Amino acid sequence: MATKTSDTKDNSTNSTTTSTGAATGTATTTTSAKKTTSVDNATVKEDDMKSSPLHKFFVSALKDIYYAENAIIDALETMQNAATTEELKEAFEDHQLQTRKHVSRLEKVFKLIDETPEKKECEAIKGIIKEGEEIIKSTEDGSMTRDAALIIAAQKVEHYEIASYGGLAQLAITMGHDKAADLLERTLQEEEDTDYELTEIAETYINFDAEQED
Ligand SMILES: [Fe+2]
Ligand SMILES: [Fe+2]
């Protein structure tokens, strides 16, 4: 087995210097030397993966968003019950179903990188969800003002998720976790679509009527 530390560094800086330790012994030209190095790096990456600071951060951030997604399932239920406009209620319901998928996708991501799914309490999402609950308390039941405010609260959740999944997908690509990256990008796309859809609902059905309320 090749030395772990040096090969990890070589992976980001060059593609030839570690080929001397390649296991295949087929590196007779520059091109094949590069290929051998890449195989070697892949092997080392697997062995080295769990001890790297970036991997540890990646797993910690996955646990954060795993906690967040589970909390969002409940929050969407609350927002659906508090909303009045049918289109908004449906959007919250649809996204709750998607959010359940996001949880199971994250479980697949944990499995793909040989880690156990765990929730890490996330103060940020707790705060954003709390803000949504305060909006419900401070607005009138059945009002468009509440629906307009609920949309903004929900979009804050989506933007937290978009930032998380966008960053995690890029890290997954960088670390060579292609299948994990694909799953994270699929969720990212659904978060972005939801954000867009909420804006459409606000502009089409809610904001104008909210502006008429006194
Ligand atoms: Fe989500
Ligand atoms: Fe979401």
Whether the pLDDT of residue 12 is over 70: the answer is: no
- Same domain, yes or no: 10 and 96: no
| Ligand of minimum distance to the alpha carbon of 99 | 1
Shared domain check, 58 and 43 = no
For the beta carbon of residue 203, count every other beta carbon within 10 angstroms.
11
Whether 62 and 110 have beta carbons less than 8 Å apart is answered as yes
The pLDDT of residue 60: 98
Spacing, Cα 44 to ligand 2 middle (Å): 35
Judgement on whether residues 10 and 39 belong to the same structural domain of the protein: yes
Protein residues near ligand 2, an ion, with CB under 5 A: 161, 191
Which residue among 48, 64, 79 closes a domain? 48
127 and 184 within one domain: yes
Mind listing the pLDDT tens digit for each residue in 185-214?
Answer: 999 999 999 999 999 999 999 999 999 999
The CATH number linked to 129 is: 1.20.1260.10
What CA–CA distance (Å, rounded) separates 4 from 22? 13
Alpha helix stretches (DSSP H) within 49-143:
53-82, 86-112, 123-138
Q: pLDDT of 156-172, one tens digit each?
A: 999 999 999 999 999 99
> Does position 181 have pLDDT exceeding 70, yes or no?
yes
- Which ligand is in closest contact with the Cα of 165? 1
Ligand 1 center to residue 112 CA distance, Å?
19
Give yes or no: residues 19 and 77 share one domain: no
Residue 28: C-alpha distances to residues 1, 25, 37, 96, 137 (Å): 20, 8, 12, 56, 72
Q: Residues 121, 201: one domain?
A: yes
> Over the stretch 99-133, which tens digit does the pLDDT of each residue have?
999 999 999 999 999 999 999 999 999 999 999 99
Residue-wise pLDDT for 19-75, tens only, equals 333 333 333 334 444 444 454 555 555 666 788 999 999 999 999 999 999 999 999
pLDDT at 115: 97
The count of domains in the chain is: 2
Same-domain check for residues 75 and 177 = yes
Question: Which residues have C-beta within 8 Å of that of residue 182, sequence separation ≥ 6?
Answer: none
Which one of the ligands is nearest to 92 CA? 2
**Can you give the pTM of this predicted structure?**
0.79
Structure tokens at 197: 């859809």
What pLDDT score does 51 carry? 85
pLDDT recorded at residue 44: 58
What is each CA distance from 186 to 105, 162, 165, 189, in whole angstroms? Answer: 9, 11, 9, 5
Task: Round to whole Å and give the CA distance between 214 and 204.
Answer: 20
Segment 89-94 shows an average pLDDT of 98
Band the pLDDT of 14: cuts 50, 70, 90: very low
Distance CA 158, CA 165 (A): 10
Residues 10 and 111 in one domain: no
Sign of the torsion formed by the C-alpha atoms of 115, 187, 64 and 169: positive
Residues with CB under 5 A from ligand 1 (ion): 99, 102, 161
Give the model confidence (pLDDT) of 132-156 as tens digits: 999 999 999 999 999 999 999 999 9
Residue 6: alpha-carbon gap to chain centroid: 30
The parent domain of residue 108 ranges over: 52-212
CA of 61 to the centre of ligand 1 (A): 14
Question: Do 190 and 70 form a contact (C-beta atoms < 8 A)?
Answer: no
Is the domain of 27 the same as that of 76? no
Gap from CA of 83 to ligand 1 centroid (Å) = 20
Ligand 1 centroid–CA 210 distance in Å is 28
On whether both 175 and 120 belong to a single domain, the answer is: yes
- Cα(204) to centroid(ligand 1), Å: 24
3-state DSSP assignment of residue 168: helix
**Res 175: pLDDT:** 96
Q: Can you tell me the mean pLDDT for 87-97? A: 98
Q: Are residues 35 and 138 in the same domain?
A: no
Ligand 2 centroid to residue 91 C-alpha, Å: 11
